[in-house]
Structure 1
Amino acid sequence: MEGLGKTIILIGVLLVIIGVLITFFEKLPFGLGRLPGDIYIKRDNFTFYFPLATSIVLSIVLSLIFIIISRFTK
């Protein structure tokens, strides 16, 4: 249970850091949200945006972070 507590604290700290970065930066850094694979459709009175490529990149980055965290918490 001690390892689980440390992991939850670490995840909480990461979430706070991400929240602060999103709050103080108007646009996401490194072009996130504007990648070539993101779907953006704008019509007269309709706008559809689906960040497909951004979701994939964030998923890969978060997976790598959690893999690294799990190796250090063992």
Structure 2
Amino acid sequence: MIRWFVTIFIAMIVFSAMLPWLEKLGIGRLPGDISFTLFGRRILLPFASTILFSLVIFLIGRLVK
């Protein structure tokens, strides 16, 4: 269980770094992704996109294995 939390946490960090490029594809605006502005800075918590991204990586890993 702890491995899934670590995996999702790392995926959120990677996803947040890649977000400007992924927003052009429509990822980051799924239901479940939270976006708000705090002190003039846009903050995005991409929960649904991170889970989708982790699932895709998991399936690719299973196919390669």
Correspondence for 2:45: 50
Structure 2 gap segments, 5+ residues each: 1-20
Structure possessing the higher radius of gyration over alpha carbons? 1
Correspondence for 2:7: none
The aligned length equals 45
Correspondence for 2:5: none
* CA shift digits 1:7-41 (9 cap, x unpaired): xxxxxxxxxxxxxxx5xx8712xx31110110101
Task: Calculate percent identity across the aligned residue pairs.
Answer: 40
- Check 1:26–1:47 CA distance in 2 against 1; reply closer, same or farther (3 A cut): closer
Structure 1 gap segments, 5+ residues each: 1-21
Correspondence for 2:34: 39
In the TM superposition, structure 1's runs of 4+ consecutive aligned residues that sit over 3 Å from their partners are: none
Aligned partners of 1:36 and 1:26: how far apart in 2? Answer: 14
Correspondence for 2:55: 60
- Check 1:35–1:26 CA distance in 2 against 1; reply closer, same or farther (3 A cut): closer
Deviation, 1:62, is 0.6
Structure with the bigger percentage of strand = 2
Aligned partners of 2:23 and 2:57: how far apart in 1? Answer: 21
